[in-house]
Structure 1
Amino acid sequence: MGDAGMMPLLTAMVAAIAIAATAYAVMYPYISSDRIKDKRVANVTENRAKKLNVRSQADIAAGRKKQVSDSVKEMEIRQKAKEKVTLRLLIERAGLDIDPKFFWIASAISAVVCAFASRFAVPASSAGITPMVMIAALFVGGFGLPRFVLSKIIQRRQKKFLGELANSIDIIVRGIKSGLPLNECLSVIAKESPEPLASEFGEVIEQQRVGVTLGDALERMTHRMPLAEVKFFAIVIAIQQQSGGNLAEALSNLSGVLRDRFKMQMKVKALSAEAKASAGILGCLPPGVMFMVYTSSPDYIAPLFETRSGNMFILVGISWMLIGILIMRKMINFKF
C-alpha cells in the first residue's frame, strides 16, 4: 500500500518537473542575460548602421562639393593661364563682326575728330593751353573713347544674355524631362532664343560638329561671355558628364539660383538709385555751372583759361572732381 500510494505522488512530481522544464526551455531566451545581450548588440549594430548610412550620405555630398570646387578651381586656373584679353576677344564679346584693323582705323578717326573739336572749343585767347588740350583730346579720342564705347556694347550684350539665360535653362530642363538629348535642347536654344543667346549657343553647336567636346565648347563660351552665371552652367554640365546624376534637377536648381540673383540685382539697383542720381548731379554740377557762366559772361571766367594760375586751378579742380566721382562710384557699386 505504501508503494501504491506513492505512485500518484511521484507521477505528479514528474509531470510538474516536466512542465516546469518545458516552460523554462520556452521562456529561457526571453529571460536570460544572452537575450538582453543580443538586444544590446542589435541596437548597437543598428545605430552603427544608421551612423554609417548618414556618414555615407555626408561623404557623397562632401564628394560632390569637392568635385564642384575642384571644377571651379580648374576653370579658374585655365582662365588665368589665358588671362590675356586681346582686342579680337573684346570684339567677339561685343558681338561685332569686324576686324581689329577696322577698330584701329576708327580709333584714329575718332582721335582726329576729338582733336579738331577741342581746337575749336578752346577760346582763341587761351593759346597757351591749346596744344595741351589737343594732345589730351587726341589721346582720349584715340584710346579712351573707342574702348569706352566697346565696353558699353559688351556690357549691354552681357546684360541681355543674362536676362534670358534662366529661360534657356528652363527650356533645357523641359526638353530633358520630355526625353530629348542635351544637344537637341541646345539646338532649340540656338534656333529659337533671342540674341545674343542664339549666336553663343549656335557657336557651341558648331564647335561640337567639328569634334570639340561639349565641356570644352562651354568653357570657350565662358571666355566670350565671362559671367559667373555662365560659369555655373558650364560647371553643372561638366560635373554631370563626369559623374552622372539628374541633370534636369541640377539645372532646375541652377535656374532658381539665377532668378534669385537677378531679383537681388534688381533690388540692389532700386536701393542704390537715389545714391546714383545724387552722384550724377554732383558730378555734372561744376562743369554745368562753368558752361553757364562762360556763355553768360565770358569775361568773368576768362582768367581761368588765360592765366597760368587759372590753368592750375582748372587742373586741381578736375583732379578733385575725378577723385570724388571715383569715391562715389565705389560707394554705390555693391558686390553680391
Structure 2
Amino acid sequence: MSDMTFILVAALAFFAIGGVGWVFAGSAGDGKARKRVGQISGGQLQRGKRHSSALDQAAQKRRQIQESLKDMEQRQRDARKKTLTLRARIQQAGLTLEPTTFWIYSGVAAVLAAVVMFFTGQNLILTFGSVIIAGLGLPRWWLGFLRGRRQKKFTQEFANSLDVIVRGVKSGLPLNECLKIISTESPEPLKSEFQILVEGIAVGVSLEDGLNRMCERMPLPELYFFTTVLVIQQKTGGNLAEALGNLSTVLRSRKMMREKIGALSSEAKSSAMIIGSLPPGVLGIVYATTPSYMSTLFTHPTGQLMLLGGATWMAIGIFVMRGMINFKI
C-alpha cells in the first residue's frame, strides 16, 4: 500500500511538474510569437512608410517639374508677344552697331535714293516712295536677312553641340566644362553665344539666367528645349546625358523633317521665283532693246504711277506666294 501510494504521488508530481512546464513553455512561445508578429508588423509599417515617402517624393518632383514647365512656357509666351526693339534685332543679327549708327546708315541710304531720283528727273511721288524704301525698307530687310541666316547656322550645328555635352557628361566631365568645350571648339554663332554664357557663369550668373539671356539673343525653339531640360535637371535631378541624348534625337528629326519639307516645296519655290522675276525681266529686256518704247513709263507722270502700282501689286503677290510656300515646324 505504501508502494502504491508512493507511485501515485510520484505520478501526480510528474504530471504537475509537466503541466507547470507546459504552461511556462506555452507562455514563452506565445511571447516569442507575439514578438515575432510585432517585428513583422513593424517591418511592414516601416516599408509602408518608406513606400509612402517615396511616393511623396515622386509626387513632389512631378509637381516641381510641372511648375518649372509652366513658368518657362509663360516666359516664352511673354517673350514671343513682346515687340522686339531695334537694339534686340541688331543683337540677334550678330552686329555690334548701336541703334543710332543704324539710323545714320538708314538716313544716308535715304539721301542717296533722293539724290538719284532728283538727278534722273523723277516726280515727287516716285521720289518719296524710293526714299521710304531705301531709308526704312532695305535696312530692315537686310537686318532681318542677317538675323535669319545667323539663326539658321545656329540650328544646323546645335544638335552636334548637344552630342558633345552628352559624351562629356558620360565620361565624367561637369556640365560647365562641356559648355567651355562648345565655346572654344564650335563654329559661329554657337561659339560666341556659349562664350557669353560661360563668361556669365564664371562671374556669378546662374545657369538659368544665362540660358534665358541666350534665348533672348537667339529665340529658337531648339534653344528653348535645351533650356527647359537643363533647368529641370538642375532643380529635380535626373540623368542629364539621357535627357540631352533624347533632345538631340528630336532636334535631328526636326531638321530632317524641315529638309524634307524644303525638298517637297522646291518646285513651288522655283515656280514662284520664275513668276516673280518675269515682269521686271521683261521690262528690262524691252527697255534694253527699244528704250523709246518704255521711256514714257519713267518720264510721264501717268507712267510713273503705273510703275508704282505695278511694283506694289508685284510685292503683294510675292509676299503671298512666300507665305504659301514657307512651312515652319
| TM-score, with structure 1 as normaliser | 0.74
Q: Distance in 1 between matches of 2:75 and 2:167?
A: 28
Q: Which of residues 133, 158, 162 is equivalent to 1:165?
A: 158
Moved more, 305-314 or 94-103: 305-314
**Displacement of 1:63 after TM fit?**
5.5
Question: Is residue 2:272 matched to residue 1:279?
Answer: yes
SS of residue matched to 1:139: helix
Q: Which of residues 215, 221, 230 is equivalent to 1:222?
A: 215
Aligned equivalent of 2:130: 137
Aligned equivalent of 2:103: 104
Aligned equivalent of 2:75: 75
Q: Distance in 1 between matches of 2:97 and 2:313?
A: 39
Structure 2: runs of 5+ lacking an equivalent = 1-51
1:5-35: CA deviations, max 9, x gaps?
Answer: xxxxxxxxxxxxxxxxxxxxxxxxxxxxxxx
Q: Distance in 1 between matches of 2:67 and 2:266?
A: 40
1:113-136: CA deviations, max 9, x gaps?
Answer: 22233345x5xxxx5x52222221
- Counterpart amino acid of 2:243? A
Superposition map of 1:17-56 within 5 A: none
**Displacement of 1:168 after TM fit?**
0.5
- Counterpart amino acid of 1:79? A
Provide closer, same or farther for how the CA distance between residues 268 and 302 of structure 1 changes in structure 2, counting only shifts above 3 A.
same
Percent of paired sites with the same residue: 48
CA contact (8 A) 2:64 2:236 kept: no
Question: Is residue 2:326 matched to residue 1:333?
Answer: yes
**Displacement of 1:261 after TM fit?**
0.6
**Displacement of 1:300 after TM fit?**
2.1
Superposition map of 1:127-206 within 5 A: 127=121, 129-206=122-199
Aligned equivalent of 1:301: 294
SS of residue matched to 2:173: coil
- Counterpart amino acid of 2:171? S
1:207-234: CA deviations, max 9, x gaps?
Answer: 1122211011001100000101011100
CA contact (8 A) 1:222 1:231 kept: yes
CA contact (8 A) 1:171 1:185 kept: yes
1:233-274: CA deviations, max 9, x gaps?
Answer: 001111111111111100000000111111111111111111
CA contact (8 A) 1:110 1:142 kept: yes
Q: Distance in 1 between matches of 2:194 and 2:66?
A: 28
Moved more, 143-152 or 63-72: 63-72
Q: Distance in 2 between matches of 1:264 and 1:59?
A: 36
Aligned equivalent of 1:289: 282
Provide closer, same or farther for how the CA distance between residues 313 and 107 of structure 1 changes in structure 2, counting only shifts above 3 A.
closer
How many residues align? The count is 275
Aligned equivalent of 2:258: 265
Q: Which of residues 214, 228, 231 is equivalent to 1:235?
A: 228
SS of residue matched to 1:147: helix
Q: Distance in 1 between matches of 2:218 and 2:91?
A: 9
SS of residue matched to 2:100: helix
Superposition map of 1:301-320 within 5 A: 301-320=294-313
Question: Is residue 2:88 matched to residue 1:89?
Answer: yes
Q: Distance in 2 between matches of 1:325 and 1:154?
A: 21
Aligned equivalent of 2:244: 251
Q: Distance in 1 between matches of 2:65 and 2:201?
A: 28
CA RMSD of aligned residues (A): 2.6
**Structure 1 stretches (4+) deviating beyond 6 angstroms?**
58-62
**Displacement of 1:311 after TM fit?**
3.9
Q: Distance in 1 between matches of 2:317 and 2:80?
A: 33
